[in-house]
Amino acid sequence: MRKAIVLRAVLSAGLLLTATTVGLTEAAADGTSTPSTATAARQAPASDDLLSAMQHDLGLTRTEAAGRLAAETAARQVERSAKRAAGHSYGGSWFDATSGKLVVALTRTGTRKAVEATGARVTLVQHSERQLNATMKRVNALHAPIGVAGWHVDPRNNSITLDVVAAHQQDNDVRSFVARARKAGPVTVSRTDHTPRTLAAGTVGGDPYYTGNVRCSIGFSVSGGFISAGHCAQPGAAVYGWDHTYIGNFQGSSFPDNDYSWVNVGSGWWTVPVVLGWGTVSDQLVRGSAEAPIGASICRSGSTSHWHCGTVLAKNETVNYSEGAVHEMTKTNVCAEPGDSGGSFISGDQAQGVTSGGWGNCSSGGETWYQPVNEILNRYHLTLTTA
């Protein structure tokens, strides 16, 4: 199995020589990398295997999967222009899979026509994104008990949604936290039966990287190395590859508060813009890091549970792990298991983030959070390796 994966990676690397001659990537103003229009027009929307995986995990027909990917690509482009058009009245946005359109929340009607001209649908709300983010910041400043699983900016509810563990909802410290959070601004309380946990694992077989007695998964190739989760190791820790040969060291790591890291690569190892499909799908080339909206489909690759797909449920979520809170995470309904930490979240051919933690497993299902990739790139001044 490993030999086949390595062969596919080498073949993918060879294909890059051709790919780079027919299209250039362009850097967006916010530092993300997106395909040029000419390049995007020449690229197929998805491989046959990726469409099959979406059919299996999202319950779609083949035609629906292909159509959804095309609609999500358009929504990513619309989101930027719609946000600019909305200005201070912007209240957030999300992808509506039923209509195939981006929905934009507005606090004022004055910008409605300009936003609709971008191709987005509009809904009116009371609170702007700036107001919601300010509330989020105030809630983040509170100390949360373990009975509060997390909280996030929820543009569809136009509030901050608190996820309270059902078994602890009557605990005095939980009730006190909820009361203080409500004073911070618009807050909605939601119940969950699950407590989030990180997804590192003790050393076992597979196709991971190892540090000490911990196994995690590679996220994305960057200039000089790769990015992954911060809870996998501290700066300076040595890293060993799937064959236990030395790769490099953790150059930077942050956890909790954040959950990201980067590792330098040397000693005969090299980096390619490839996410492993583990035989479920073909290995996927990475062509940029344009952020997918809430509601978009997304897939994850990790060394334990391999390849699974789902949708983006929420952004700007604070996850309250037992080790401490981690901020500005994205929540998905993609399953994951111990050892998948640090692995790749990708939407189409656009890198989204590295796996942090979650609840559940890939037999019964669950939810998983990731740290957005562009935040990591900006923090360490790294450049994503793209095809």
Delineate the domains of the chain, giving CATH numbers in brackets: 61-125 (3.30.300), 129-193 (3.30.300.50), 198-380 (2.40.10.10)
Residues forming a β-bridge with 163? 150, 190
Contact 92, 129 (CB under 8 A): yes
Q: In angstroms, how far is the first alpha carbon of the chain from the final one?
A: 24
State the Cα angle at 91 between 90 and 92, rounded to 5°. 100
pLDDT of residue 45: 53
Q: In the predicted model, what is the mean pLDDT of residues 40-58?
A: 71
Residues 6+ apart with CB under 8 A from 351: 220, 286, 288, 289, 344, 345, 373, 384
Q: What is the pTM of this model?
A: 0.77
Ordered DSSP codes for 140-188: HTSPPPTTEEEEEEETTTTEEEEEEEGGGTTSHHHHHHHHHHHHHS-EE
Q: What is the pLDDT of residues 245-304, one digit of tens each?
A: 899 999 999 999 999 999 998 878 888 898 988 888 888 889 999 999 999 999 999 999
Q: How confident is the model at residue 168 (pLDDT cuts 50, 70, 90)?
A: very high
What's the pLDDT at 314? Answer: 97
What does the alpha-carbon distance between residue 263 and residue 243 come to, in Å, rounded to a whole number? 17
The residues carrying an active-site annotation are 231, 259, 341
Contact 284, 349 (CB under 8 A): yes
Alpha carbon 25 to chain centroid distance?
21
10 Å CB burial of residue 379 (0-12, 13-18, 19+) is middle
